[in-house]
């Protein structure tokens, strides 16, 4: 879907929440060796990841983020017209986790709530859905986006274990005459098998098999994440630069007009090549994966609240947000936003 423009939606604030436990790279040396661990850290750019407790879900992190956001904005709970939960690590197969969160937050019975199952592109798709709801008549929408991918990772898979961390976020959007968001969205479903958890759904039910060494040399079972990094890299460089160019054309902006390009925090290697291909100034591309790893759907709002806090608390800025990956799915949005509420990181015990 090309050149979609949504009017009259303003972002009022973003809160990001992470688990208290931070896991550094040192702990991986026993599984992969010190030299290999250092090589991996240099390539992916991750030095630490926040890991959720066994009983802690993405919804828990999003709940804490949303409760704080509503409180600090001073929004009455019955003033929220709709709530969207974007994740691929839901509480249950059914019911929808958005319904669970709706009850925990004490929102009005007239508040619509629904889930969206998307990962790397999920925040941009969530903004598009939220802006569409406002265009249809909603006044206030709560967008909750988060994942706990660490629960789906084999501890012996060096392609995924050092990379993924957990986070949950809450974004408040409200009707305001004037603001425009320009979207570019796309999908290539032929690439679905390159980033996947094969078992656990209804195509392939739960398996009792143990972890075993696979063709790529990593040890995992079919209920662990499988990722073909080479295919992800090729897909990114093929689809993302044209997407970014199209969204800039839609907004009628030049590269020099942009205060920051906030990308899904895939890994340092991919983002470095993407930035070089687009000839982006290094200072315009913030990173958060050094401290948090790849947090899937939460990585864009987490990067905004962690790296652009001082900028967006005080003034308006032009941002281009780009999400891409699992599916294959991609989305970008060009928007002028701020000043907004951006509290310090919420750390959940």
Give the catalytic positions in this structure: 120, 264, 294
Annotate 307-323 with DSSP letters as a single string: HSHHHHHHS-EEEEEEE
C-alpha–C-alpha distance, residues 228 and 149, integer Å: 16
Residue 235 in contact with residue 188, Cβ under 8 Å?
A: yes
φ/ψ of 246, rounded to 5, equals -65, -40
C-alpha–C-alpha distance, residues 130 and 140, integer Å: 9
Strands (E), 134-218: 140-148, 166-187, 195-196, 212-213
- Tokens in use for 51? 């890991």
Which position has the token pair 């499988």? Answer: 226
Q: What is the length of the chain? A: 349
**Sequence-ordered list of residues with C-beta below 8 angstroms from that of 83, at least 6 positions apart, any chain:** 98, 101, 102, 105, 107, 111, 112, 113, 141, 142, 143, 144
């Amino acid at each position: 879907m090309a050149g979609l423009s949504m009017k009259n939606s303003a972002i009022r604030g973003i809160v990001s929440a992470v688990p208290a436990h931070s896991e550094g790279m040192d702990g991986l040396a026993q599984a992969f060796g010190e030299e290999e661990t250092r090589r991996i850290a240099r390539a992916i750019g991750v030095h630490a990841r926040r890991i959720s407790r066994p009983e802690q879900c993405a919804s828990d992190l999003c709940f804490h983020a949303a409760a704080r956001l509503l409180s600090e904005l001073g929004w009455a709970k019955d003033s929220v017209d709709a709530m969207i939960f974007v994740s691929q690590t839901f509480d249950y197969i059914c019911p929808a986790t958005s319904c669970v969160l709706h009850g925990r937050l004490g929102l009005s019975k007239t508040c619509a709530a629904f889930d969206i199952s998307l990962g790397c592109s999920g925040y941009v798709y969530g903004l598009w859905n939220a802006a569409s709801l406002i265009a249809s008549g909603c006044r206030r929408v709560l967008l909750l986006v988060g994942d706990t991918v660490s629960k789906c990772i084999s501890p012996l898979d060096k392609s995924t274990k050092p990379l993924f961390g957990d986070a949950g976020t809450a974004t408040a959007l409200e009707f305001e005459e004037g603001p425009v968001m320009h979207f570019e969205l796309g999908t290539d479903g032929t690439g679905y098998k390159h980033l996947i958890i094969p078992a656990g759904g209804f195509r392939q039910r739960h398996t009792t098999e143990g972890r075993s060494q696979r063709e790529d040399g990593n040890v995992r079972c079919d209920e662990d994440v499988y990722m073909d990094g080479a295919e992800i890299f090729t897909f990114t460089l093929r689809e993302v630069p044209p997407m970014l160019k199209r969204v800039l054309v839609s907004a009628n902006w030049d590269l020099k007009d942009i205060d920051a390009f906030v990308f899904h925090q895939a890994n340092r290697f991919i983002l470095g090549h993407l930035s070089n291909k687009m000839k982006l100034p290094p200072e315009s591309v913030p990173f958060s994966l050094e401290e948090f790893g790849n947090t899937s759907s939460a990585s864009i709002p987490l990067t905004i609240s962690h790296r652009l806090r001082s900028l967006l608390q005080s003034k308006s800025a032009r941002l281009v947000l780009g999400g891409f990956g699992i599916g294959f799915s991609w989305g970008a949005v060009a928007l002028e936003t701020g000043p907004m509420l951006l509290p310090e990181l919420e750390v959940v015990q």
